[in-house]
Structure 1
Amino acid sequence: MKVLILLLSLALVLASADHHEHHHHADGASSYVVKSHDDLVSYRNACAEKVHAPAELVAKYKKWEYPDDAVTHCYLACVFEKFGFYDEEHGFDVHKVHVQLSGPGSSVDHSDETHQKIAQCAETHSKEHNSCAKAYHSGMCFMNANLNLVQHSVQA
């Protein structure tokens, strides 16, 4: 369950997309398919392997601990990419992150406070030049500001 919460929270981090960039993604949010716990586990494993994360870092990730280092930055960027929320060229898609958090079949109000919080984190870190660092800092911003929301959305 913690892995699911972690991965979903990472997805939320992706939601902290660049405020300017997220508008062109809006049409794709309606066709976005909410990812499952199994997807999260698969993404986590693939990304840990991709970035060559040592076992001690992987153990930290499972406990919601994300050190501010290059390996962790790229690990989170990879997870967000696999969720379909983030890409190096366009940054985050706030709409898709919001849809993931709302769950399958839910109606999403992209003008609500949750959406605004996600967008604010994305905007705050949108000028970073390193793609992995941008993903990491935006994601940590969102998770730190909305941990209760993230945990609730995963359990719902």
Structure 2
Amino acid sequence: MRLTIAIILMFVTLASTSPRHRNESRRVDSDTEQYIQECGAELKIPSSEMTKYRTPDGVPEDRIGQCFTKCMFEKFGVFDKESGYKLELIMKMMSENNHPSIRDMAFIGMIEKCAKEANLIENVCERAYHGAKCFTSEAFRKKNAGS
């Protein structure tokens, strides 16, 4: 599933733009892998099923997959269960790392829209997953690629 690839790429992108990780690409991979392992353990995902979370078939759209997405975004520090997506932190990370779309108001508007819509959802796992799905939508990817 393309959504899974996009979500995993989003995790890696967040890691690479995080001030803690931005200059250490080798560490990004190991931290991302560590987060995947930690989230798998927290959700009691059998090791035999963890490959789903790294392959094109990807993160399931079920409750466990949604909570896995939440866990990963929490690990990267851009989401918390009380307030949802931390829009200010996402923007700050983009700015600090000179993201090419940081001055594109339409792109910023899409980020804000995805985060705000997701943050209205009561169930925290659904909230995280909805935001991820929005961030990886076709329109969002086209806008990001065009910048």
TM-score by length of 1: 0.65
**Equivalent position of 2:24 in the other structure:** none
* Pairing partner for 2:19 from 21, 33, 37: 33
**Equivalent position of 1:94 in the other structure:** 87
Quick check: which has more Rg, 1 or 2?
2
* Pairing partner for 1:75 from 68, 82, 88: 68
Is the counterpart of residue 7 in structure 1 residue 8 in structure 2?
Answer: yes
Is the counterpart of residue 115 in structure 1 residue 101 in structure 2?
Answer: no
Equivalent AA in structure 2 for residue 122 of structure 1: A
How many equivalent pairs are there?
130
Corresponding residue SS for 1:106: coil
* Pairing partner for 2:55 from 63, 66, 79: 63
**Equivalent position of 2:37 in the other structure:** 45
Return the offset for 1:110: 5.9
Structure 2: distance between partners of 1:149 and 1:57: 33
Structure 2: state its 5+ residue gaps.
22-27
Structure 1: distance between partners of 2:142 and 2:53: 18
Structure 1: state its 5+ residue gaps.
14-31
Equivalent AA in structure 1 for residue 8 of structure 2: L
Task: Spell out, residue by residue over 1:90-140, the C-alpha distance to the aligned partner (whole angstroms, 9 max, x if none).
Answer: 11112433455x597426736633322222112222221111110011111
Q: Alpha carbons of 1:6 and 1:138: their partners in 2 closer, same or farther (altered >3 Å)? A: closer
Report the identity percentage.
22
Cα RMSD of the aligned pairs, angstroms, is 3.3
Structure 1: distance between partners of 2:43 and 2:63: 9
Return the offset for 1:70: 0.9
TM-score by length of 2: 0.68
Return the offset for 1:62: 0.7
Q: Alpha carbons of 1:4 and 1:97: their partners in 2 closer, same or farther (altered >3 Å)? A: farther
Return the offset for 1:149: 7.1
Structure 2: distance between partners of 1:126 and 1:11: 22
Equivalent AA in structure 1 for residue 38 of structure 2: A
Q: Which gives a bigger RCO, structure 1 or 2 (Cα 8 Å, sep 6+)?
A: 1
Structure 2: distance between partners of 1:149 and 1:44: 28
